[in-house]
Amino acid sequence: MAVILLIDDDDFFRDMMIQMLSREGYQVLGAENGYEAEKLLDVEAIDLVITDIVMPDKEGIETIRDIKSNWPDMPIIAVSGGARIKPGFYLDVAAKLGVAYTFQKPFERKTLINAVKKCLEMRNQVKG
C-alpha cells in the first residue's frame, strides 16, 4: 500500500483529504507544516508528498526545497488557495522547484486522484 504524506495547516482540509485518499486505498499521514513533515519523512517510508503552499511555520516553498534537497526522488504535488499574491504565483515557483503537479484550490477530486496515481507510477519506476 502506497503511503502519502499530506501537509496542510487547515485541519478541515487536511482531514477531508486524508479521508478521500484513504477511501482510494492509500495510507495517509498528516502534518500541519513542513517541520512536522520532515520528522515523518525521516522515520516513515513515504511514497508521495502533497503539500499546501501558504502555511505558517515552515511554508510550502521552503518545505518543497528541503524535501527535494534531502529526498530528491520524492514526487510532490503542490496545492494552493493563495494569499496576498495570486495562487498561480506560488504554484509557478513550486513547479520551478520540481514538483510533479500543481493545483489551485478548489480542484476536482478526480484530477487529483489521477495525478496521485501517475506520481506513484513514476515513483515505482524509480524504485524498481
Cβ count within 10 A of residue 2: 19
Domain that holds residue 54: 3-127
CATH of the domain at 83: 3.40.50.2300
CA-CA distance, 128 to 126, in Å (whole number)? 6
Query: Which pLDDT does position 85 carry in this prediction?
Result: 59
| Counted domains in the chain | 1
Tens-place pLDDT, residues 37-84: 999 999 999 999 999 998 888 889 999 999 999 999 999 999 987 655
Query: Which pLDDT does position 81 carry in this prediction?
Result: 79
Eight-state DSSP code of residue 44: S
Q: Which of 43, 47, 53, 42 is nearest to 7 (CA)?
A: 53
Nine-digit cell at 13?
A: 482540509
Of all helices (H) and strands (E), which one includes residue 28?
strand 27-31
Tens-place pLDDT, residues 84-111: 556 578 788 899 999 999 998 888 999 9
Instruction: Tell the burial category of 81 from Cβ atoms under 10 Å away from its Cβ (0-12, 13-18, 19+).
Output: middle
Query: Which pLDDT does position 83 carry in this prediction?
Result: 59
Q: Which of 64, 63, 54 is nearest to 101 (CA)?
A: 64
**CA dist list (Å): 118 to 82, 91, 128:** 25, 19, 15
Query: Which pLDDT does position 66 carry in this prediction?
Result: 96
Tens-place pLDDT, residues 116-127: 999 999 888 876
